[in-house]
Structure 1
């Protein structure tokens, strides 16, 4: 993976690029995540057939972090600027969680730029206690820890971390910045993520977007327990969204909302994507 930056929509956007010869896939991570969220999929071979470009959305990772501008429109224009800058007229676009919602938004508002959709664990409805379920992960935002090891211990103590493999390490290393005293601080700030939630996730007519999507799509659903003895996206809610779309496949994969991106879940996701894109 090659680390790169591009100026788009008045900000510097960081992304990583396999630079593989082949069709382009642009992937967009979850709410507080970063471009290394898909390293597990790359480890299972996703980047061998496709040129995978994984983006640090604004306010996350190594991308600029303006104080405002976190609507879905802002995020979408960042990605369109990236595509324009790289000379990509149309490609496969997908994302995990918040990134999948952004994919829905772009499929509706910029249909001519998206060829096919890869939707990882996002739907019109999530578990009714999603806010409580995400609490422990969101509590890390903007926090400083004495060392990276201390930070990693907190991560591993999360109820959703039912599985660990070293492929995850690059994601959590990219999640924090190292301070001069050896401490680490989470790169995303509470203020920016609140903007992304209130002005990005909330208020959009998601059902209208989902029902109008024309592009072929696949929804990959991690159905194991995430928190509160339940998955973040229950299978029945995922299937409900699939039924609303004109041309969407469904695939259940190993793992929960987070662990599905690694190990057997990553194998399942890559196999699902390969089968879907082969048709």
Structure 2
């Protein structure tokens, strides 16, 4: 079994995934910009029988210097509702808040996203979260833009910062899915559940047989719980036109 995914770039910018759909059993599309073109493409593929799940990424940083070419969160959530209204099933949609900056301003933006999401009443039940990792080249980008790095010389959030995220999100009634944030799922199991971006939950939703060999994917970030059947559909290896300041890719030279 192969489950395609678009983690290397943005599925609404790089459409090479479309021609690769026949080579995989199902696909998880990730985008920060649910454009009308993307929505129409997804609807067409879905109506043609392609097995799809859409992760609509919405961090609250759109239209800021952190995500300069990403729409603001209200636009993204409005477009998410449009996707569902056009016939794509809500249970095949995931609100993805990735990354979360564990700072006062970062958590404020997450709260704004979640409050607006509730207003939209999309019927979506799944929300995935991921806490920001800070690469050295990202620290340099932040300094160049006049911002201080979040973690000093560290790569990961501290336990205290993790707990700040947990305390903010626990005020909502969701059980948030998370992949590499083991601490959250261990300490607050009612509010956080460890689920890889590619899991049996997704496989069953797409009408495929569950994976019996649940070997996890060791090639992703530390702590990744995705199955090894995850197959990247994009070939991008540099920062995409969204130009997010925190992107783990370096710029194309």
TM-score tier after normalising by the smaller chain length: 0.3 to 0.5
Structure with the higher helix share, 1 or 2: 1
TM-score, length-normalised on structure 2? 0.39
